Amino acid sequence: MDNRCIGVFDSGLGGLSVMRHLIERFPHEDFVYFGDTARLPYGTRSEETILKYVKGDMAFMDTFHVKMVIVACGTASSVALPRMERHAYPVYGIVQVSADAAVRATQNGRIGVLATETTIKSAAFEKRIAENDPAAKVFPVACPLLVPLVENGCIDDELAVLGVEKYVSQLREQDIDTLILGCTHYPLLRGVIQKAIGGKVKLIDPGEETARFVERILSSGEIEPADVRKGEHQYFVSDSVYNFSAMGSLLLGKDIAKQVKKIDIEKY
Amino acid sequence: MDNRCIGVFDSGLGGLSVMRHLIERFPHEDFVYFGDTARLPYGTRSEETILKYVKGDMAFMDTFHVKMVIVACGTASSVALPRMERHAYPVYGIVQVSADAAVRATQNGRIGVLATETTIKSAAFEKRIAENDPAAKVFPVACPLLVPLVENGCIDDELAVLGVEKYVSQLREQDIDTLILGCTHYPLLRGVIQKAIGGKVKLIDPGEETARFVERILSSGEIEPADVRKGEHQYFVSDSVYNFSAMGSLLLGKDIAKQVKKIDIEKY
């Protein structure tokens, strides 16, 4: 048994959609979540800036007794994870986990990817998919408006439909059978995206896939699960917690605003 | 004659829409522009974080021989300007300049304000308008989606129309005769906003009003204008300059990507 906690971080609150799956699936595990709300969004910044920020995020994770860290940010796992120095614990990224799941899911080898500009520019999904299946064809689409839409509660209204259409229309002629939701905000738009691309296309949700992946890690014995007890959850952000409540409820499915602490990430 | 330069800063590139008016109106003046692209957006951050950032922005301005500084960021001029320590030169904010212009423009004393969440939350427009005209009624609307829309080139398409409608519809029953575009990105949506609110409502554009305001300062003798010569323009950003080109062209009306230098704002 290994009662060290599982660390999860994101540029902001989007990673809570991954946390949601993790805490549901692993009630005995302790979790620490960090959302770098003072420096979000990562998705439009340069690689150099992202590398610097992720170094700080990992230094903060290092202040806990973690057994693994999940990089629950598409941009950070695309840009920073492949170049990260070794830590005393394994570090997994939602991009890598989702890419692997898409390779397993596809029948025709044609995979679409919706993600932020910086993630798409990094070609991280293509690289990871090519490592597993060199014959697969990947169709990446940068979707810069989808995060602002979700963060403003546009998840099933006319604006959401138009915003999703702007990007998904580029994939309609590509005969994909699998579509990766390559950013943790996008599962909130799942219904609208599924409708836009058609019911036959399998959507890959980073939160679901990460929960499955951690399940495999913990059951393989690679890392031991925690004792049978109630897991504790800690939440940290780097900017004021004042608007945590609405987004937290939307992404995590419950309001934890009162449990959130603010830290100064520039110290790390 | 005073050949010191005029400093202009913003959280990002939106302030270029103010620069555009200034460099057109004052061809003999030297200008220094700084866009804090590594730490944008300011509009969704806490007051504490904005105060810290603006302190750094002003410290960077201090490294030039400036005769005045224009805070071309709605959020920074709302939150930080009223609490800023005294500098050796005057500092003006687009919120104050635009609020004063709206008070002069209104006939019926009913003024609408479109701005970012943090600007609206600060009530800076209301406070400034109340100082000039205690009887005026102000109708503030936070418009968090408009900056992302403009930054993704949605300035006259269906998404722009829907996005603008989401906010302007809240003003339609208020009988306003003046509407402040309280963020430097919004003048790009001017056509769509004018159509949504109706042709009779006077729109207040922060860039236009700032140019008029600086004209008054320079012609009053409060600060001397520069000699008759060709003014020089310097541009700085805090993140990579790679996506400066498209936005620069959109906001400034010309492509100056090659003249832009990157600085490390965290040193200031």
pLDDT digits (tens, 9 = 90+) for B226-236: 999 999 999 99
pTM, 2 dp: 0.86
User: How many distinct structural domains can be found in chain B?
Assistant: 2
Catalytic residues of B: 73, 183
Instruction: Report CB contact under 8 Å: A240, B49.
Output: yes
| Residue B237 domain boundaries | 5-93+208-267
Q: Are B111 and B199 part of one and the same domain?
A: yes
pLDDT digits (tens, 9 = 90+) for A211-262: 999 999 999 989 999 999 999 999 999 987 766 777 888 889 888 888 899 9
Residue A106 and residue A77 share a domain: no
- At residue A242, the pLDDT reads 65
Cα separation, A252 vs A241, whole angstroms: 15
Q: Report pLDDT for B85.
A: 87
Residues B83 and B35 in one domain: yes
Residue B267 Cα distances to A128, B41, B69, B73, angstroms: 37, 19, 20, 21
**CATH number of the domain residue B149 falls in:** 3.40.50.1860
The verdict on A114 and A195 lying in the same domain is yes
CB distance A159 to B162 below 8 Å: yes
What is the pLDDT of chain A when averaged over all its residues?
94
Residues B198 and B214 in one domain: no
Task: Enter the DSSP assignment of A84.
Answer: P
Give the pLDDT score at B46: 86
The stretches in chain B having pLDDT less than 70 are 242-243
A113 and A165 share one domain = yes
For chain A, state the CA radius of gyration. Answer: 18
Shared domain check, A86 and A126: no
CA dihedral A148, A149, A151, A155 (to 10 degrees): -160
Cβ neighbours for A267, distance < 8 A, ≥ 6 positions apart:
none
Nearest to B18 by CA among B183, B241, B225: B183
Residue of A nearest to B242 (CA): A46
Residues B132 and B87 in one domain: no
The reply to whether B104 and B164 lie within a common domain is yes
Find, among A209, A258, A218, A205, the residue nearest to A28 by Cα.
A218
**Residues B101 and B191 occupy one common structural domain:** yes
Q: Does the ipTM exceed 0.90?
A: no
Chain B residue closest to A160 (CA)? B159
Q: Give yes or no: residues A143 and A169 share one domain.
A: yes
Q: Could you count the other beta carbons within 10 Å of the beta carbon of residue B10? A: 32
- Our CA-based measurement puts residue A8 at a distance from the nearest CA of chain B, in whole angstroms, of 22
The pLDDT of residue B135: 97
Of the residues B171, B191, B206, which one is the last residue of a structural domain? B206
B38 contacts chain A (CB < 8 A) = yes
pLDDT digits (tens, 9 = 90+) for A99-122: 999 999 999 999 999 999 889 999
Q: Which residues, numbered 97 to 156 in chain A, qualify as contacts with chain B under a Cβ-Cβ cut-off of 8 Å?
A: 144-145, 148-149, 151-152, 154
Select from B38, B45, B163 the Cβ nearest to the Cβ of A159.
B163
Q: Which of B206, B222, B242 is the last residue of a domain?
A: B206
- In this predicted structure, what is the pLDDT of residue A26? 97
- Which of B171, B187, B206 is a domain's end point? B206
- pLDDT, mean of residues A172-199: 96
Q: Is the domain of A115 the same as that of A243?
A: no
What per-residue confidence (pLDDT) applies to B144? 93
What does the pLDDT look like over A29-69, one tens digit per residue?
999 999 999 898 887 788 889 999 999 999 999 999 999 99
